[in-house]
Structure 1
Amino acid sequence: MNRTVQIRLLPLIVLGTLLCLAGLLWPESGYQRPLSIAVNIWPGAEGLVMACDEGNTSEQRINTVEMSWPTAVMGAFRKRVVDAAVVTLDEMIRLEADGAKPRAILVLGISRGGDAVVGHAGLESMRSLRGKNVGVELKSAGEYLLWEALRGQGMSFNDVHVVPLNLAESEDAYDEKDLDAVVTSDPWCLRLKEKGAAVLHDSSGMDLKLSRVLVVREEALKTYERELRFLVSACLAHNAELKLPENAGRDAALRREGFDQGQWRRSLTRVHLPDAAENLRLMRPGKGGLVECVNDMIQNMLLDGLLYREIKARGLFVPKFLEGAP
């Protein structure tokens, strides 16, 4: 290379060197992706949805991803599409067994009849389902509810014909009468009951087992600490408002749930919404709390093949975001 060419290339070499140095020394971007929460259709989640709407500001970004059935929510959490999700205790157990590391920071609601096995006229009990077609969403709370209901009658999945069914399809499947019974939850469960469906078993006698919690991926707890503290406090405040007798459902909530005002009020009698004090009691280790409940669930799920490996319940609950909440 002659001297003239070298002189012409020198500015380019110097510029390239400076750009490389600038890339190394330039401060990292302060951008942080929004906190994403998968929320399924369920009346007890409406307080959280309201809190997410309030919390989505210029200072903090919170996105809700609405999904119609539980396994879609679990899949989004498992594949890291979302940072947080609303799940039942058995679904949280399954996620932990899969290595997704869910950590419960808030008990949203405890089902008091809003989840049920419902059948057509002529069916009187779970025993009458022997040999019948039952639609249920597998690997979800519906499967767990059906398992509990059958076990209580000395039966098992082998005594019925299980038909895989997404939760959001349960009402249509019942109306079409292709199935003898479906496992469903509110809002579909309430509408089916009003249509005359026979309730063969519901969650009113399951104590804490059909609680729904807000879980966050373990590594996201610190990243989104400010957003999570806001969400817990705001959700508890909205839940307190929802429990007031004169409360009316907001238009957006009624559209999501497919309810009128009367159905909305009736649905809230079918779910218990714990306040901050009860949340703390439930999430801390101790008799009558969720750790004890989940440990029992784990052992029973292992025995009957609903869970393929043992996990520890104690590390699943993180109550620190409740401290200082109203």
Structure 2
Amino acid sequence: MPPARTSLFAAPPAHPSQSGRRRMVTALALAPLAACQAPRPPLRVGSIVFPGYEFLFLARELELLDPRELRPIEMSSSVDVLRALAVGQLEAAQLTLDETVSARAEGLALSLLAVLDVSAGADVVMARPAIRRPEDLRGRRIGVEQGATGAVLLGAMLHAHGLRVDEVIKVPVSLNSSADVFEREHLDAVVTAEPWATQLAERGAHRLYDSRATPGLIVDVLAMRPDVLQQRPDSTRTLVAALFRARELHQRAPAVTAPLMAPRLQVRPAEVAKVFDGLELPNVTRNHELLKPGGVVQQGAERLQTFMVEQRLLRRAAPLADLIDTRFLPAA
């Protein structure tokens, strides 16, 4: 497991042994990113550990982010990220689309700036060998992170197979503890994602249901408070550019970037490529297509909100007309 931060506001630890690797990859960059122009608190971006979110931290390792201007903050669960956003301890976050929609429904204004990934099998329900069909979960114990993507995926699976939520026993787990809790609590199934799904498969669990059955339902995004967009447009533009720059550098030099990503993803460098299986990683051009007015993401958010209200995952719906803000995307 990656070490926990000692403080929400602590500076990220240095990795002296990787300084040469950083210099090597940074040299691939086409131009330096804009530096902070005046002393001010850094813009804090919250995130859990997840492959689709890793390019933010890779950007930090490659020194594409000025820590005086932008600071990634690793947190243990998406619920913690949303709480920190709500109380002003974060200005932005890497979240799923359903988490962003949920936050808006609860009165936390967030704008969607970029699509980080689209799940096509990366989010999964893993089960013990005796559980062969979703219907076998009736009356069984299922680990799931409440108020997050896991609850949405579980709800979709149960709905598709004629089960009600009250016909299963939900056990709260965080995503990064899902594999350990599955074993420790002797759960019958757990909603998880990579790299924990691979860890569970190595222990004998099997894939019962995944996001391939729900295309477009699970999308990861970069979201920010609208007041911060107005106050920090330059920092926001730098953040979005750094994410796409880090992704590009990883595609160009994976042998160099994989060792930087492996420790946080809890895998060996040679296994980094595998953790991205089941994820579509849209580039800038694809982002413009996905985020156009009335496009895939806008329609998906509206369908998702309707589904979540029907499944009682949301108490009420919220207007979504102003959800997406593409002003900070690099040119296609």
Question: What is the match of residue 98 of structure 2?
Answer: 90
1:307 equivalent to 2:307? Answer no
Q: Which one of 191, 199, 202 corresponds to residue 191 of structure 1?
A: 199
Give distance in 1, aligned partners of 2:56 and 2:103: 21
Q: Which one of 249, 256, 262 corresponds to residue 254 of structure 1?
A: 262
Superposed CA offset, 1:273-317 (max 9, x none): 100111111111234x10001111111211221111211222111
Give distance in 2, aligned partners of 1:219 and 1:257: 32
TM norm structure 1: 0.85
Give distance in 2, aligned partners of 1:130 and 1:244: 47
| 1:249 and 1:264 in contact (8 A); partners too | no
The count of aligned residue pairs is: 294
| 2:126 and 2:192 in contact (8 A); partners too | yes
TM norm structure 2: 0.83
* Structure 1 residue identity aligned to 2:96: T
| CA distance 1:264–1:195, shift in 2 (3 Å) | farther
Give distance in 1, aligned partners of 2:157 and 2:252: 32
Q: Which one of 162, 165, 178 corresponds to residue 154 of structure 1?
A: 162
Give distance in 2, aligned partners of 1:172 and 1:180: 13
| 2:45 and 2:91 in contact (8 A); partners too | yes
1:123 equivalent to 2:131? Answer yes
Structure 2, unaligned runs of 5 or more: 1-37
* Structure 2 residue identity aligned to 1:215: A
Give distance in 2, aligned partners of 1:270 and 1:100: 30
Computing the radius of gyration over CA atoms, which structure comes out larger, 1 or 2? 1
SS state of the match for residue 316, structure 1? coil
Map 1:232-247 to 2 at 5 A: 232-243=240-251, 247=255
Give distance in 2, aligned partners of 1:68 and 1:190: 20
1:231 CA displacement: 1.8
Map 1:1-326 to 2 at 5 A: 31-53=39-61, 54-57=63-66, 61-176=69-184, 178-243=186-251, 247=255, 249-287=257-295, 289-324=296-331
* Structure 2 residue identity aligned to 1:125: R
Give distance in 1, aligned partners of 2:177 and 2:66: 35
Moved over 2 A (4+): 50-58, 193-196, 240-252
